[in-house]
Structure 1
Amino acid sequence: MSIEANLREIRDRIDAACLRIGRNPRDVRLVAVSKTKPTAMIDEAAAAGQTLFGENYVQEFLAKAEQVMAKVEWHFIGSLQSNKVKYLREKVAMIHSVDRLSLAREIDRQWSKAGYPADILIQVNLGEEESKSGTQEAALEELVRSIAALPNVRIGGLMALPPYLDDPEMVRPFFRRLRHLAEKLSALDIPGVAMRELSMGMSHDFEVAIEEGATLVRVGSAIFGSRR
């Protein structure tokens, strides 16, 4: 199947998942994860109407951002080192993977030069996996309060990369926990914090994520094919 056909199928599945639980499909945005994929594939997806792309690696993203001619929105979704933040300033619309105060401080410092605040999500390590980034649940509230005090950063929600399980239903409890964490934080009414976004769900489980409240689903292989 072509990228255009893949996108059409995924959008149909997003619509169906929303309709099953009475959500408006317009409340869910598809992030096409284009890491390791050539610029030509991004151009093809953009020509098919996809406007939002997620990248994981700073150097790869910078090269692609210069080459892609279509008007697209870039999100950075990968693990981020503080010394690479400066390269993302004024190039990405959102950073999904903020998991520590030192990183948030550097984002704040860099975006002070941009003249507008950075939109970020806080990444939570729900499975407490050593191989994955993300703050622990127990430290989440304190981290959010600390980051919210930074003047050039806006916390817009949470992101999670749960354990990979073949059965999407087995991942559902993780998605539900992220939603409950967002609801708890929202109820605290912390200035500068809005739990509008839940970035969760990938190619094999995004429908379950949508049923549990995802507003951003990160889909790569189902659009572009498996990574070689």
Structure 2
Amino acid sequence: MQYHTPNNLSELEINLKKIQHTISLVCKRVNRDPAQVRLLPVTKTLSIEQIQQANHLGFRCFGENKVLEAKSKYEALQHLNIDWILIGHLQSNKVKYVAKFIAEFHALDSYKLAEKLNHRLLLEQRQLPVFVQVNTSNEESKFGVQPEQALALIEQCQALTQLKVVGLMTLALHSQEPNEVRRCFQVLRELRDNIQKQYPEIQRLSMGMSGDFEIAIEEGATDIRVGQAIFGARNLPDSYYWSESK
């Protein structure tokens, strides 16, 4: 898929309006309110200037995959009203940074990590909305709990006062077959629906990226994580950004 890289603020605005128009069209097709879908620009590898441009166009929530990259941007842009959202895997030795400034965490995948994060949040006197990451594609290369393990993790997290589980997150199978991609999103939606019988407050579905967000919206996504379709193609493959160990 070809993504146009904007060279100025006007071209960035065009890209953003195209995405927003597509969101509206997809929502109309499946009888959803576009206001139910949050477009989360993913700013990994982008410059401070590019983030400032997107913020100038009205965006205040930005997704980052790597904690230290997010930290440097947070420190450089503290004068702006920005919420930094961590959407990538979190190593336990970087929990202290997340507790200080991250506004949402979309990739909680173990109780051990949840405990450490809760402890640091207590020290910072902060609460944090989190999404449990679910491996709906059953790929060993992806982080996340298995679908059948999600409810148990959510139940364990109820005792952690500083964490609030608000939804589920997944990365779909990287496939040219739309039905295979769609199935990943269906698994997450059906899992959320079942979990809501016990925990009705868990409503959000963080799923869908530049190449598959339309399918994700059709299947109920509330938060879509879009980078390249807004800011242009990256030099490194997505797999680099979805592992803190690389």
Identity of aligned residues (%): 40
Quick one: structure 1 residues 25 and 63, their matched pair in 2 at CA, closer, same or farther if it must change by over 3 Å? same
Q: What corresponds to 1:154 in structure 2? A: 164
2:228 corresponds, among 218, 221, 225, to: 221
2:102 corresponds, among 92, 100, 103, to: 92
Alpha-carbon distance in structure 2 between the residues aligned to 1:121 and 1:201: 14
* Residue 119 of structure 2 corresponds to residue 109 of structure 1: yes
Q: What corresponds to 1:45 in structure 2? A: 54
1:205 corresponds, among 183, 202, 212, to: 212
Q: What corresponds to 2:75 in structure 1? A: 66
* Map 1:152-191 → 2, pairs under 5 A: 152-189=162-199
Partner-residue secondary structure (3-state), 1:22 = coil
The offset of 1:23, in angstroms, is 1.2
The offset of 1:65, in angstroms, is 0.9
Alpha-carbon distance in structure 1 between the residues aligned to 2:16 and 2:60: 11
Whichever residue aligns with residue 204 of structure 2, its letter is E
Whichever residue aligns with residue 58 of structure 1, its letter is V
Count of residue correspondences: 225
* Residue 45 of structure 2 corresponds to residue 36 of structure 1: yes
Checking the alignment, whether the CA contact within 8 Å between 1:94 and 1:118 is kept in structure 2 is yes
The offset of 1:50, in angstroms, is 1.8
Whichever residue aligns with residue 85 of structure 1, its letter is V
Alpha-carbon distance in structure 2 between the residues aligned to 1:46 and 1:169: 35
| CA shift digits 1:133-171 (9 cap, x unpaired) | 100112222111111221111100100011111244431
- Give unmatched runs, 5+ long, in structure 1: none
- Give unmatched runs, 5+ long, in structure 2: 1-5, 236-246
| CA shift digits 1:188-216 (9 cap, x unpaired) | 23xxx722210000001101101111000
The offset of 1:176, in angstroms, is 0.9
The offset of 1:114, in angstroms, is 3.1
Alpha-carbon distance in structure 2 between the residues aligned to 1:127 and 1:149: 29
RMSD, aligned α-carbons: 1.4
The offset of 1:180, in angstroms, is 0.4
The offset of 1:107, in angstroms, is 1.2
Checking the alignment, whether the CA contact within 8 Å between 1:94 and 1:119 is kept in structure 2 is yes
TM-score, normalization by structure 2: 0.87
The offset of 1:112, in angstroms, is 1.1
The offset of 1:51, in angstroms, is 1.8
* Map 1:139-150 → 2, pairs under 5 A: 139-150=149-160
The offset of 1:52, in angstroms, is 1.4
Alpha-carbon distance in structure 2 between the residues aligned to 1:121 and 1:164: 21
Alpha-carbon distance in structure 2 between the residues aligned to 1:47 and 1:163: 34
TM-score, normalization by structure 1: 0.94
Checking the alignment, whether the CA contact within 8 Å between 1:168 and 1:204 is kept in structure 2 is no
Quick check: 132-141 or 201-210, which moved more? 132-141
Checking the alignment, whether the CA contact within 8 Å between 2:173 and 2:180 is kept in structure 1 is no
Alpha-carbon distance in structure 2 between the residues aligned to 1:60 and 1:39: 11
* Residue 63 of structure 2 corresponds to residue 23 of structure 1: no
